[in-house]
Structures are given as C-alpha cells and as structure tokens.
Copies of this chain bind each other. A is one copy, B any other.
Amino acid sequence: MQIRPLHDRVIIKRLEAETTTAFGIVIPDTAGEKPDQGEVIAVGPGKRDEAGRIITPDVKVGDRVLFGKYSGQTVKVDGEELLVMREEDIMGVLE
C-alpha cells in the first residue's frame, strides 16, 4: 500500500544516523537526535500558483533531501515510518 500525496506534499523516508554519517552530514548542535535528511518516496503533482497553474515540485523520487528538523508529520505505512511534508520545507538535494 502506498500514499499518493496531494498538491505539493512529499513523502520522505528519514535516513538513519548511520546512513547519514556515510553521507557526511549531521546537524551539529543536536547530536544524538534524528538526522534531518531522507529519501523521497513519493511526490505530489505540485501546488497551484495564483494564476491557477500547477507548479511541478523540484524534487523527484529517489532524491536525498535535507529538511528542517521539525518539518512534516510522521506516519507509519506497513510498519515503516515516513514523513509527509510540503516541498517548500525541503531545503536542498544532496548530490
């Protein structure tokens, strides 16, 4: 079972700390807390601008993304914990 996100929402699988270290990024003054990065699992179609056009999100499934520590809401799908947040809350893509 999957979540099809609406509008500009993005589903993210938070990366474990070990994985994070492998990627070399940790949020410094919050040592021991959950890392603020993850992998994009699903992306909504985008929100509409004031002229009614849909703005395609700038992230795609598989992107490793960086986001604010308290961004999004946590859900559990088939035993797997996921985050649902707006594309706006994603700060950047790790490359």
**Which residues of chain A have a CB within 8 Å of any CB of chain B?**
1-7, 9, 11, 23-29, 36, 42, 44-45, 48-53, 55, 58-59, 66, 68, 73-79, 81, 84, 87-88, 90-95
| Chain copies in complex | 7
Bound CA span A18–B26, Å: 25
Bound CA span A29–B7, Å: 26
Q: When the two chains form their complex, are residues B49 and A48 in contact, meaning their CB atoms are under 8 A apart? A: yes
Interface centre among A3, A24, A49, A78, by most chain B C-beta atoms within 10 angstroms, is A3
* A6 / chain B contacts, CB cutoff of 8 Å: 58-59, 87, 90-93
| Nearest-neighbor residue (CB-CB) of A88 within chain B | B7
The 5 A-B residue pairs with the shortest CB-CB distance, nearest first, are A3-B92, A24-B78, A5-B92, A4-B93, A49-B52
Q: When the two chains form their complex, are residues A76 and B26 in contact, meaning their CB atoms are under 8 A apart? A: yes
Bound CA span A81–B29, Å: 11
Q: When the two chains form their complex, are residues B58 and A55 in contact, meaning their CB atoms are under 8 A apart? A: no
